[in-house]
């Protein structure tokens, strides 16, 4: 069972469409992991994204489940340390104790770098985190958590992973009644991210 934001190894150039850009082939040939994305697929396939060196280099593809050799979930990266001294990694060090009682993980560029050893972060990078929230997190708790994250030395983008998709903590802590829930079938404006989208 794979989830959005998991990193997978085992994809080969043979799994790519013929029109894949050269940088995609380079990333796969270099042995970089691919990241699981939200999309509806056949049971034998998983929707993945491939990262290039540049921010705009993102490529959507499908990977056979049978090709997966290794999987690293965001939670597996909570205690991984780095010798690099940049704001996103300092923020991670600062927030570990804050998040200790939660079921959380590291995603985005920080997760990619900690899992693969490939430098993906720079001094202006945000820190992307996920928080598994099988039970509803009330909006007062969300605001209290956001206030703690906002003391970090860089912008922290935390996504609440509900049983039905993902919603940005910053949005759930805000004043708008409806929030954007990202699901496998697309993004939906909802009143309650812990309810199935009709």
* 164-194 pLDDT per residue, tens: 999 999 999 999 999 999 999 999 999 999 9
Cα–Cα distance, 107 to 155 (Å, whole number): 14
pLDDT of 54 > 90? The answer is no
Share of the chain above pLDDT 90, in %: 95
Distance between CA atoms of residues 180 and 132, nearest Å? 17
**97: Cβ–Cβ under 8 A, 6 or more apart, which residues?**
none
Distance, in Å, from the CA atom of 57 to the CA atom of 68, rounded to the nearest integer, reads 23
Q: What is the pLDDT of residues 77-132, one digit of tens each?
A: 999 999 999 999 999 999 999 999 999 999 999 999 999 999 999 999 999 999 99
Whether 128 sits among the annotated catalytic residues: the reply is yes
Cα–Cα distance for residue pair 5/40, rounded to 1 Å = 15
Cα separation, 10 vs 34, in Å, equals 9
Considering the candidates 29, 76, 126, 157, report the single residue annotated as catalytic.
126
Catalytic residue among 76, 128, 157, 192: 128
Q: Give me the half-sphere count of Cα atoms (radius 13 Å) on the Cβ side of residue 25.
A: 8
């Amino acid at each position: 069972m794979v989830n959005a934001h998991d990193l997978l190894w085992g994809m080969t150039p043979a799994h790519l469409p013929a029109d894949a850009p050269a940088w995609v082939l380079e990333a796969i040939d270099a042995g970089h992991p691919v990241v699981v994305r939200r999309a509806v697929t056949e049971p034998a396939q998983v929707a993945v994204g491939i990262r290039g060196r540049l921010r705009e280099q993102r490529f959507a593809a499908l990977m056979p489940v049978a090709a997966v050799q290794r999987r690293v979930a965001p939670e597996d990266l909570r205690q991984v340390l780095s010798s690099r001294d940049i704001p996103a990694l300092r923020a991670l060090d600062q927030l570990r104790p804050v998040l200790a009682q939660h079921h959380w993980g590291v995603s985005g560029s920080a997760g990619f770098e900690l899992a693969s050893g490939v430098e993906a972060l720079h001094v202006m990078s945000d820190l992307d985190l996920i928080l598994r929230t099988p039970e509803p997190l009330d909006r007062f708790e969300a605001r209290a958590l956001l206030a703690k994250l906002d003391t970090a030395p860089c912008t922290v983008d935390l996504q609440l992973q509900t049983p039905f998709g993902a919603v940005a903590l910053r949005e759930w802590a805000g004043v708008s009644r409806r929030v954007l829930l990202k699901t496998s079938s697309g993004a939906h404006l909802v009143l309650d991210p812990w309810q199935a989208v009709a």
